[in-house]
Structure 1
């Protein structure tokens, strides 16, 4: 199959990093400046569109031909921009993304960084960032540049020639990366998921723009009112300044080392009068309700929809999707019972009524963010999500039968866990119901080898659990889940053996293989997790442990330590991802239109009266052949705007 490698340089007055490629290319001022391409192994050619050159007929024909593979690094950018340039949407069919191919080996997500890690010969040119800033973005008008707002080829001919060289080099770098990774092609099963992902991003999701605009307006007005009151009470030049507020509090007999939410809430319970009011105002001023509304405003396109909210294989350790632009994967939850009323008050600019009816305007605005996403006229949303998916997958891998039985019978895992840990029946809102909370915190914190530190960071002490209870909780949970505890160390031993002996180790429905300097973990779905350049090193406790090279917490390429429970976390989360991906594929093949998905949840835009929630949940709950014996369950609900049920 012929391959057309592509890289383009573009101009838009919209900020690509803040607004995404769909809004970027949707601007009336968008244009493609340079189009570099190469067929198969032939030399790279450049078409200077900005200076009037035209794309050759062969290239135009190849763009429309699904039999020609179009390859690019972050191919979504090229496909979306070229679609805009041609005036017709190019199907994801026939497109291949080298960034995805790299991510599947847990390599970095940028062309520059992948080139560095693979040590390719034709690396991305370092001066490229300056050239992109010069030609691809608006510039400030000055006397020196004659008051122009953008730079064109004729404004700097020598720079323009270097820009063309840079564009050509990107095609060469992408091709060299692809050649280095030829042993590890993207499997067709993942290509099918990639095409589905591109369809979902192309479809986008509709935004209630009136709600968004008024939420920003309401927040601004409320913030001005709160700040004015803080000025009045304190007399400070800037009552938003932590240093000034700390000084004012000290003058009023209150010493505060920090002014984070937790500290301020603690001080509120110990103060009264003006100090109490200032601390409450501090909490209100610190609440950032509108950043996501502003992100929606920036990213919405002329069709009223936001596109490109999720990046395929964005979390490259597990292959999960990563949130982009609005970060829908960490939207605030909604708990107020009358969301419809609150939405109406904001949409009608009845901000005084909102303040009168609710304790905290910023909190209400925060809870309404989800509801900014709405179905198109004549449709409703059906939201369906897997119930306790990670807990189910972990129990299935480890063979923890009592947990599998609990799930199969539709039981409450937190009650069942507490019952197992404490040896008494536990019923939610019933007998020994107070123990459910301990079961819940243990379930959330301890499944991947967590101990006292994990319980603390999950907020166990804030929930009223005493410090001396933490270690016994860890022991009780592990004793209640012997198969899971054993599974952690079986995975550890299998990975270590595969690396030390350069061999293949089968553990149940998992396979650990060392090949080409990479530790592969083959999941039940057939997909592989990758750990590059694994070797045995000494950990911080002075013991031998497994490590590998990857993108660390600092976003830099580094050596990372791992061990059994951490590998189990990767394996479970990756398998949960595969289950959601397969469920979405089944839904899509049944004709349903997915507009968004978050972790273990799919959001569908369904015509009124066409389908019911039960049918969608049934489709989601079907276990693939490779997941026999895994008790899946999906729950769902219909809604007129996106919300948590």
Structure 2
């Protein structure tokens, strides 16, 4: 743009818009006013003027790309959900914070007693202590500690286990709840509409509902009752790790209004269904049609043997599962490793054959990757529209637009051809990358397919939310909707309405499942 924002604005805003510390040199004042620095004030006025000019310039640029009416409707519903909020059991939260502090004090005291360290929670102090005791390590990350625990002698093993417990971030979420809750006991504003740059998915804010630990405890309700009543001794007696218990109980802090219940409904394997539908991978569509287990079916397709969960060749289901999770968007050996294939007992030499088997058993999905790759490259090179698998690619005003079946458009700024690390062609565009800074990002067919599939999944979630908009939705997480419902409301009816296929997705088989609860949890 011709008129950019001035870079010195941050310092000027801090000077004039934030309280300052009283000192002798500033005569004990707590605010900086114009008369305290005339030169800075003049520059601040220029900055604000340029700020408005830059914003107007952005608005002028964007005016040719009107937001469709259905997106405004989605945004309106998002604001209603954010304003409605979700109730938090503050009596439970306060006790959880107290218990966490008590637990941390005990863990620290035990670690100090064993190590004689001033601060056993210090990474450097702990690394030095381990080295002095014959165990050298570059990192104290979760995976590294788990690996060291397999062979660490005592008392090193005990210290590492205690450190693992201490590293649990449970109290941070509870503290976030205390900070976010309103005077009526509800937390609001937890969802950022269009928070994800590429796909338009929602992002979590404040308590980050999208990023909560799972619960696996069989006696969740009893553990929750012990925490709520502040019975620290009983909790310590019955469970090995208090931080672990508090971590698993985070979800249970969210409760429905008195006399009501939660209905939690989510889509079954939504991305796997969408990519199979887009690619026309018939055997997968048949599995979904018959209500089969996609992980078993995938393993069966890959290894040409029947696979049943807890039955014949059941051990192969795990390989089918990790292949499904890691390989759908062009992933290879590295993706399998990142997903923890080696930790699950799959041998290094099995990884590449697993990749090959998955791609051979999913030829239409593999074809989809490279059809999209060609369509994007042709569109960017020739600056002309292309289409494949019902997805349109348009170059307009220095932007690449991918038009989804719903009609929504994904935007990629200033696309151009580049060269990848292997010397081949790749498409690059500008955006916020992994460094959280504006930069040029490289992409290719499978990555664009990932964006497309996740964006379509997001549109399906929004369609379901519009269908259920009169049912008091209080939250949504990835492919899940949480409804604050009357006791009479029917779970099957909610799941049936949620699984209705949008008119623009003819042939896509959706399925939703759910459960009822008096506090939020993972079923």
* Candidates 483, 486, 501, aligned match of 1:607: 486
Rounded to whole Å, the distance in 1 between the matches of 2:440 and 2:88 is 42
Residue of 282, 289, 293 corresponding to 1:412: 293
Q: Distance in 2 between matches of 1:597 and 1:138?
A: 38
Unpaired segments ≥5 residues, structure 1: 1-118
1:120–1:177 contact (8 Å) kept in structure 2: no
| 2:121 counterpart residue number | 240
- Alpha-carbon distance in structure 1 between the residues aligned to 2:172 and 2:19: 24
8 Å CA contact retained: 2:16, 2:31? yes
1:617 equivalent in alignment to 2:498: no
Query: Which residue in 1 is equivalent to 2:472?
Result: 593
**Aligned-pair distance for 1:381?**
1.2
Q: Is the 8 A contact 2:386 2:394 kept in 1?
A: yes
Paired with 1:493 and 1:504, the residues of 2 have a C-alpha distance of 12
CA distance in 2, matches of 1:422, 1:240: 47
The one-character-per-residue Cα deviations of 1:286-328 (angstroms, maximum 9, x if unpaired) are 2222111112211222222211111111102011111112221
Asked if 1:334 is matched to 2:334, the reply is no
Instruction: State yes or no: 1:187 paired with 2:68.
Output: yes
Structure 2 counterpart SS, 1:486: helix
Secondary structure in 1 matching 2:134: coil
Match for residue 462 of structure 2 among 564, 581, 584: 581
2:395 match: secondary structure: strand
Supply the distance in 2 between the matched residues of 1:208 and 1:190 (Cα, whole angstroms): 34
Separation in 2 of the partners of 1:303 and 1:176? 41
**Number of the residue aligned with 1:302:** 183
More contact order relative to length (CA 8 Å, sep ≥ 6): 2
Using the TM superposition, give the Cα deviation of residue 353 of structure 1 relative to its aligned residue in structure 2, in angstroms: 1.1
Counterpart CA distance in 1 for 2:442 and 2:147 is 37
Mapping of 1:29-428 within 5 angstroms? 119-121=1-3, 123-143=4-24, 169-428=50-309
User: How far apart in 2 are the matches of 1:638 and 1:150?
Assistant: 53
CA–CA separation in structure 2 for the residues paired with 1:435 and 1:321: 35
State how far apart, in whole Å, the 2-side matches of 1:608 and 1:134 are: 54
Query: In 1, Cα distance between the equivalents of 2:306 and 2:196?
Result: 40
Aligned counterparts of 2:355 and 2:475: Cα–Cα separation in 1: 37
1:444 counterpart residue number: 325
Deviations 1:528-572 (A, max 9, x none): 111222222111101122222222111222221111101100000
Which one is further off, 452-461 or 355-364? 355-364
**1:418-468 alpha-carbon deviations (Å, 9 max, x no partner):** 011111110000111000000000000000000111001100000000011
Instruction: Please state how far the C-alpha of 1:164 moved relative to its aligned partner.
Output: 6.4
Task: Measure how far apart 1:129 and its partner are.
Answer: 2.7
**Match status 1:477 vs 2:358:** yes
Deviation at 1:150, TM superposition (A): 5.2
Q: Which residue number corresponds to residue 626 of structure 1?
A: 504
The 8 Å contact of residues 534 and 547 in structure 1, kept in 2 or not, is answered as yes
* Alpha-carbon distance in 2 for matches of 1:151, 1:563: 51
Structure 2 CA distance for partners of 1:148 and 1:637, relative to 1, 3 Å: farther
The Cα shift of 1:171 comes to: 4.1
Aligned counterparts of 1:598 and 1:286: Cα–Cα separation in 2: 25
SS of the residue corresponding to residue 394 of structure 1 reads helix
Q: TM-score, normalised by structure 2?
A: 0.95
Q: Secondary structure at the match of 2:78?
A: helix
CA distance in 2, matches of 1:137, 1:607: 46
Structure 1, 259-268 or 363-372: larger mean CA deviation: 259-268
In structure 2, do the counterparts of structure 1 residues 120 and 448 end up closer, same or farther at CA, with 3 Å as the change threshold?
Answer: same
The 3 A distance-change label for structure 1 pair 407 and 543 is: same
Native 8 Å contact 1:400 1:481 kept in 2: yes
Change (3 A) 1:462 1:252: same
Query: Counterpart of 1:381 in 2: which secondary structure?
Result: strand
Q: Determine if contact 2:197/2:432 at 8 Å carries over to the other structure.
A: no
Distance 1:495 1:179 in 2: 27
SS in 1 for 2:287: helix
Tell me which moved more, 275-284 or 328-337.
Answer: 275-284
Q: Distance in 2 between matches of 1:342 and 1:564?
A: 48
* Alignment CA distance shift 1:392-1:154 (3 Å): same
Q: Are residues 306 and 143 of structure 1, via their aligned partners in 2, closer, same or farther at CA, if it must alter by over 3 Å?
A: farther
Task: Give secondary structure in 2 for the equivalent of 1:313.
Answer: coil
CA contact (8 A) 2:261 2:518 kept: yes
For structure 2, which runs of at least 5 residues remain unmatched after alignment? none
Residue in 2 that maps onto 1:640? 518
Q: Which residue of 2 aligns with 1:540?
A: 421
* CA–CA separation in structure 2 for the residues paired with 1:273 and 1:539: 49
Q: In structure 2, what is the Cα distance between the partners aligned to 1:221 and 1:308?
A: 31
Q: Say if 2:279 and 2:389, in contact at 8 Å, map to a contact too.
A: no
Q: TM-score normalized by structure 1?
A: 0.77
Question: SS state of the match for residue 314, structure 1?
Answer: coil
CA shift in 2, pair 1:148/1:382, >3 Å: farther
